[in-house]
Amino acid sequence: MEQEKVVDKVAEHIEETRRREVILSSLRQTVLNDLDSTIQTDQFLLNMGPQHPSTHGVLRVLLDLDGERIKRSIPDLGYLHRGTEKIAEYRTYNQIIPMTDRLDYVSAMANNYAFVRAVEKLLEIKIPERAEYIRTIVAEVQRIVNHLFWLGTQALDIGAMSVFFYTFREREELLDLFEIICGARLTSNYYRVGGVDADLPKEFINRLYKFLDAFEGNIKEYNILLETNRIWLARTKNIAVITGEDAVNFGMSGPSLRGSGVDYDLRKYEPYGVYDQIDWNVPVGINGDVYDRYWIRIEEMRESSKIIRQCLDKLPPGRILTEDHKITFPDKGKVMHNMETLIHHFLLVVQGFKVPPGDTYCGTETPKGELGFYIVSDGSGKPYRMKIRAPSFIHIGALDHMAKGYMVADIVTIFGTLDIVMGECDR
């Protein structure tokens, strides 16, 4: 009796698989008919990822190939989905900050900044000047860290392996600096609503100055290895071209958009932090190919170091957190002696700070593009709804458009040039 049941089940399963096969093959036929191929060849479907050395995490792409040429590329997302947006509805605002670290895990500080800015916009509070300077410095250091990481992996994907080690050498120094200010190298959790967590110690500032002094020479070193290399140029020029119009239509942002000649940088257009008090430029490309985006990121590193140096020179004294203790924690020393501060402390821990009802969208220029937080507040200490506009997710929408007609080898270059991080993409 038992055995019969098992046999039945197996038969059912086989039947089911067959039915699926039929559906699949008919689907495949319709796909084939869609593609206007003059020579009738077999379709070559290549499954790339989610476990693949260069899909930047757990991206999966189905490649429809004609020989080595890409006819279609279908990204399949969700392998790193952790439900960040939903979990956020059950956390106080301060508890969400460490969750944003895990979005774009290559540049955690930038995510902190983007989230904190959105909440501050809802709260309509003012940040002490010193805190604004520190935020700008750290955000730009994070931009350099991200671009170094990007440069190393992009070069490694194209086959130039030494650049990877050189950029990681520099990145290591900057991560050590992060460790000084927040105790962590990657998951920083440094920004706070109303300021930042800790002041910059003397050692941080000195080492950052030293780093900046050597950095210009280091960028030159990468350029000697790449920009003057004919193979590098052949692999990046006129690859994955996207026009400015298309890039805008796909909703791209950041270096990926600026590479196509669209002069759009939130730091210039809706200045936040102290970007409007600093002298710096937005590098813009012309052709919208991989090389232009490479050039822009290199230039952005130069601009970032310019911004950091000016900020460090100007760094004013003062507080690093607002004094509004409805939002920020009061000094620990006072908590045990002053009734009011004790209540503030207690309420902040138990309920979190209250955000007035309403909704807002706030976009921030992270290294990857415009990272936006849309937050709906019902007046409680937790967001009613939080939506993250992740640049990686939106850029992946343009993958098929950019990859069509190029070779298998180029798909890896395109992953790199879009600067995709799956933590942010799948959220």
Partner 1 sequence: MLNDILAAVVVIAGVLFVVLTMVAYLTYLERKVLSFMQDRLGPMEVGPWGLLQPLADGIKLVSKEDIIPQEANKAIFKIAPIISLVPAILSFAVIPFGRDSFHFGGITTHPYLTDINIGMIYILALSSIGAYGILLGGWASNSKYSILGALRSAAQVISYELNAGMSIIGVLILGGSLSLVQIEKAQQGGFWHWYIFPQIIAFVIYLISGIAETNRTPFDLPEAESELVAGFFTEYSGMRFSLYYLAEYANMIVVSCVATVLFLGGWGSPLPMLDFVPPVIWFMLKVYSFLFFFFWIRATLPRLRYDQLMKFGWKVMLPLSFANVIVTAFVVYMIRH
Q: Give the binding site for partner 1 (CB under 8 A).
A: 44, 46-47, 52-54, 68, 155-162, 165-166, 169, 225-226, 229, 231-232, 234-235, 407-412
In terms of CB distance, is 231 or 343 closer to partner 1? Answer: 231
Cβ-based nearer residue to partner 1, 97 or 411: 411
Question: Among 327, 383, 347, 372, which Cα is nearest to 193's?
Answer: 327
Phi and psi angles of residue 107, each rounded to the nearest 5 degrees, phi first: -135, 75
Q: How far is the CB of 9 from partner 1 (least distance, A)?
A: 23
Nearest approach, Cβ of 291 to partner 1 (angstroms)? 13
CB of 375 to partner 1, least distance (A): 39
Q: Omega before 255 cis (within 30°)?
A: no
Across the strands, what pairs with 387? Answer: 374
**Closest CB 211 distance from partner 1, rounded Å:** 16
Nearer to partner 1, 226 or 421 (CB): 226
**How many C-beta neighbours within 10 Å does residue 136 have?**
23
Closest CA to 303 of 335, 345, 268, 328: 268
- 290-312 burial: b if 16+ Cβ within 10 Å, else e: bbbbbbbbbbbbbbbbbbbbbbb
Find the helix packing angle between 161-182 and 129-158, rounded to 10°: 160
Q: Looking at beta carbons only, is 185 or 237 nearer to partner 1?
A: 237
Task: Give the nearer residue to partner 1 in terms of CB position, either 52 or 306.
Answer: 52
Query: Nearest distance from residue 24's CB to partner 1, in Å?
Result: 17
Which segments within 83-235 are labelled E, that is strand? 191-192, 195-196
> Which residues, other chains included, contact 306 with Cβ-Cβ below 8 Å and sequence gap of 6+?
279, 280
Cα separation of 309 and 149, whole Å? 21
Spatial CA neighbour of 167 closest among 157, 178, 156: 156
Strands 358-366 and 195-196: unpaired
Residue in 413, 364, 368, 361 with CA at minimum distance from that of residue 392: 368
Nearer to partner 1, 31 or 63 (CB): 63
- Residue 158 CB, shortest distance to partner 1, in Å, is 4
CB nearer partner 1, residue 56 or residue 389: 56
Torsion of the alpha carbons at 268, 272, 274 and 275, rounded to the nearest 10: -10
Smallest distance from partner 1 to CB 160, Å:
4
CB of 412 to partner 1, least distance (A): 5
Q: Which is nearer to partner 1, 46 or 282 (CB)?
A: 46
